[in-house]
Structure 1
Amino acid sequence: MTARAASYGRFALAAMTAGIVFAFGLGGVVGADASGAVTVRSWSLASEFPEGFRVRLTASSDEDIESVAIRVRIGRHTRTGYDYLEMTRRDGSLEGDLLWRTNTAASYIPPGTVITYSFEFVDSDGRRYETEKAEFVYHDPRFVWKEISRGPITVAYHGGSEPRAREILDTMLLTLDRMAPLLGADREEPIRVTVYNSWNEMRRAIPPATAAFDRHLITEGQAFTTVGTLLVLGSRSAAGTASHEMTHIIVHRAGEGVARKVPPWLHEGLAEYGNVDPGRSYDNALRRGIRQDHLLPITHMGSLPGRANDVLLFYGQSKSLVRMMIDDFGTDKMREFMALYKSGESMDDSLMGTYGLDRVALENRWRASVGAWGGGRGAARPTRHRTRHPPPPNK
């Protein structure tokens, strides 16, 4: 039982009762309570990605153990899940086995994610015994992975791609230093990255829904914001992709709560604004959209458009609008706006409280600033209420 990880892509211990406390870690130490009620003799977690990870355990006990469960926390997710091992008794030992499945859109876990886990035993009298927590990195087993780390960021790579991995690490640290203060996000919380060397490698690693998104687009990277993991295609634009995707995680941490999600235009606009190595495709799409009088009402769109060309336009518009917000009103206003939105205010109330503009007025201001005020088929209509004048620019 796990919660689905929110994702964004870039395209182009103590005992439960008085009793057992295990000294239980990945270093190979097994433990038992003082009376020897339960002894964990061996255990293993092995990746069978994308199907899942295999859990095996061997234990012995003086008590009548009725169930054994594994409790897991997926990456930086705030909630935990659990499932029961299938247990058999053999020669006085308990042997357990479980395949924790990750092969559906709802159960998917991105490769490279750290899984924190513990085992819980329940005997026939209802007493619960829990091991200490340990960690397992859910890697893609097709490759032998190496890791480099600095600060809160860890980059996993394989083959001869260490120079690119180091470039990605350096770029992400620059992005973190730039965007975390701007948005008011925690700078110390871990972020992990898995780098694939080709699209043929990576397409087996992304969620099923993403793989079927649009055959005309290649996913260059994807951020799984609630678990704090990125997947990045190791192309020439890998550093920019990692910068963009990492900003999605920073936006999530600065502006989202349990039931509060940052809308796509703001998520993508901030992510591309934070990109320290941007490409040209989004800007080119925006210039073409302005020239052809074909713009999207992005602040009222709850998801990305379905056509490849419109996706590029959406990114270009979002980036340009966010840049206007920061250039015209200053960085402090953006941080104030994100905090107000995370507190539970609606998008329009957060914008009004910070900028004196609702979504329609904000988008109309942006259209005027780029010379796109033509009332084309994507134009936002002026609002008839909330006529408070915007505060003066604070550059």
Structure 2
Amino acid sequence: MKASFASRLLFLICCLLLLAPPAVAQTGILVTRNEIKIEYPSGIRFFIGASSSSAIQSVTLRYGTDRQTCQPGEALTDLEFDPATTVSLEWQLQFVRGGVIPPGANLWWQWEIKDASGTTRRTERQTVRVNDQRQRWQSLTDGVITLQWYEGDQVYGSRLLQTAAVALERMQTEQGLPPSGPIWITIYPSYTALREALVTSNEWTGGVAFSDYSAILLGVPLDQVEFADEALPHELNHLVVNRLTFNCVGARLPTWLSEGLAMFAEGKLSQPGRERVLAALEAGDLPTLQSLAAGFSAYSDQANLSYLQSQMVVTYLIETYGPQKMRALLETITSGRTIDEALTEVYGLDTVGLETAWRESLGFAFAPPERAAAQSEATNTPVPTLALWTSIAGASGTLTETLQVSATATSTPAVTLTLTPSATLRSSPTPLPTPTPKPRGAPWLWGGLTAFLILVGVTLALAIMDILIFRRWRQKHESRQD
């Protein structure tokens, strides 16, 4: 019996020696901090802390957004520091340098850390939705539209959301322009608050469409909610059209078409606006469509006339040929055709032919100027040419209409950024909580430890059983001798 117990014990000890991992010192890079802090309107700050048994020699931040772009969707920046076994670093993405990342955009980031032993640690990619952390936002959603605001009640927010939803539905039915994805709308209660969030903007900016992020920022004072009745459809149209016509071949819509579609989205042209255009036609001082391909006049009165003219031309195209033709025109331009090529392919008319037909529909003949041998490529007007409230005077000098126009812009964040010092904020935003990865040992170490504990338990159980069996055998043996 003693020999049997000894053989079992020897067998278990051999198993433990075979399964137990070799005793080695724990190595690797331990991440102790990994988080970001959104500091609107200055930028976003990234924090990383790490330690290793060998000196950490390099730390690289990789980050990107869901921005619609032809460029690679990843940016890299190497942080500068003195090599050490423990590091605590931070880096700031400054909006004033790289462009504003608007509320609603998704930002991702991860770190790559290397030490002197050649070990490399790359953290898991994390994603957060960017927002202005200075405010307590309320939000409502209708279909693909999410609208957020922080001043005003639910009635105020619901009214704005309904305005946006109706405008989006009209774009689909009347213009043949469906949205390409979710749209995030942020409402500030004043134009001043909006401009502070934009970092760099003009004094007359009332709204901005970040088409590449599918986001809109708009200033809507609580006592001027009617401003949104035209501004929201206008900016929504720019956003939807710009995303539908996005391409990497350099194709752009002429300004008269881009702004004409946005004005059409606001609603039917008013009678004073129509009379203003007819008066210019009668006087013979209405600019040609070709002259409105690459932007409008810097003078507000002339620019206002161009907005109205563009709206009338787009209305003529949609009412005469239907919304599907307009969708086909945009798709043809996006494929790389010039505006004349696209118009001819879809409507059988080039720009001059279109203007001739439109003017004749109003009872005016058109004598087109001589075609230039080479025309510059048409591009969208990058910034608006109208103030928020601009009076439009007719030929007689009397006030005939008031337009509300907001800005349309796209941000262009830099791909390569440098380490910058901390910025001074007007208010201290709440840090964005992000999960901190927990250190993990090597898989084989945990597996070996588990096997070791199991074998120890089995060994103890067998030993106890053998002791009990031996005692019972001994008691029986002694009783027989007695």
**What band does the TM-score fall into relative to the shorter chain?**
0.7 to 0.9
Residues 110-159 of structure 1 deviation map (CA, whole Å, 9 limit, x = unaligned): 531423212130425485625223123132x5533332222221212112
Q: What CA distance in whole angstroms lies between the structure 2 residues aligned with 1:293 and 1:183?
A: 30
Deviation at 1:101, TM superposition (A): 1.2
Secondary structure of 2:336's partner? coil
- 1:323-334 to 2 correspondence within 5 Å? 323-334=315-326
Q: TM-score, normalised by structure 2?
A: 0.62
Aligned partner of 1:223 among 209, 221, 225: 209
Equivalent pairs counted in the alignment come to 338
Contact kept? 2:112, 2:121, Cα under 8 Å? yes
How many percent of aligned residue pairs carry the same amino acid? Answer: 22
Q: CA deviation at 1:367?
A: 2.3
1:321 is the counterpart of 2:313 = yes
The range that moved more, 278-287 or 190-199, is: 278-287
Aligned partners of 1:244 and 1:274 also within 8 Å: yes
Alpha-carbon contact 1:239-1:277 (below 8 Å) kept: no
**Alignment equivalent of 2:191, drawn from 196, 199, 203:** 199
Q: Which among 131, 138, 146 is matched to residue 138 of structure 1?
A: 131
Structure 1 residues 260, 366: CA separation in 2 closer, same or farther (over 3 Å shift)? same
Deviation digits for residues 239-274 of structure 1 (CA, Å, limit 9, x no counterpart) = 321111011111112223122222211111111212
State the Cα distance separating 1:38 from its structure 2 match: 4.6
Kindly provide the amino acid, as one letter, of the partner of residue 253 in structure 2: V
- Tell me, yes or no, if the aligned pair for 2:43 and 2:94 is still in contact at 8 Å: yes
Deviation at 1:338, TM superposition (A): 1.4
Higher Rg:
2
Alpha-carbon separation, structure 1, partners of 2:27 and 2:70: 33
Could you say which residue in structure 1 is the equivalent of 2:391? none
CA contact (8 A) 1:56 1:97 kept: yes
Contact kept? 1:68, 1:87, Cα under 8 Å = no
Partner of 2:239: 249
What is the alpha-carbon distance in structure 2 between the residues aligned to residue 250 and residue 50 of structure 1?
26
Match of 2:369 among 344, 356, 381: 381
Tell me whether 1:98 sits opposite 2:91 in the alignment.
yes
Is the partner of 2:266 in helix, strand or coil? Answer: coil
CA shift in 2, pair 1:38/1:117, >3 Å: farther
Distance in 2 between the 1:196 and 1:336 partners? 36
* Per-residue deviation, 1:289: 3.4
Deviations 1:330-373 (A, max 9, x none): 12211211111111111111000011111122122222223454
Conservation of the 8 A alpha-carbon contact between 1:351 and 1:357: yes
Q: 2:139 corresponds to which residue?
A: 147
Q: When the two structures are superposed, what TM-score results if normalisation uses the length of structure 1?
A: 0.74
Give the CA deviation at 1:66: 1.2
Gaps of 5+ in 1: 1-34, 213-217, 386-395
SS of 2:298's equivalent? coil
Secondary structure of the residue that 1:41 maps to in structure 2?
A: strand
Mapped contact 1:265–1:318 kept (Cα < 8 A): yes
The question of whether the paired residues in 2 share the 8 Å contact of 1:220 and 1:238 is answered with: no
Partner in structure 2 of residue 121 of structure 1: 112
SS at match of 2:233: helix
Kindly provide the amino acid, as one letter, of the partner of residue 254 in structure 1.
L
- In structure 2, C-alpha distance between the alignment counterparts of 1:277 and 1:233, rounded to whole Å: 23
Distance (Å, rounded) in 2 between the aligned partners of 1:68 and 1:58: 12
Instruction: Indicate the structure with greater strand content.
Output: 1
The 5 Å alignment of 1:15-164 reads 37-61=28-52, 64=56, 66-73=58-65, 75-77=67-69, 79=71, 80-84=73-77, 86=79, 93-104=86-97, 107-109=98-100, 111-123=102-114, 125=118, 127=120, 129-139=122-132, 141-164=133-156
Separation in 2, partners of 1:131, 1:279 = 56
Q: Counterpart amino acid of 1:56?
A: F
Q: Please, what is the CA RMSD of the aligned residues?
A: 3.3
Q: Is the 8 A contact 2:208 2:216 kept in 1?
A: yes
Aligned pair in 2 of structure 1 residues 278, 75: CA closer, same or farther (>3 Å)? farther
Q: Residues 169, 278 of structure 1: CA spacing in aligned structure 2 closer, same or farther, 3 A cutoff?
A: farther
Paired letter, 2:228: A
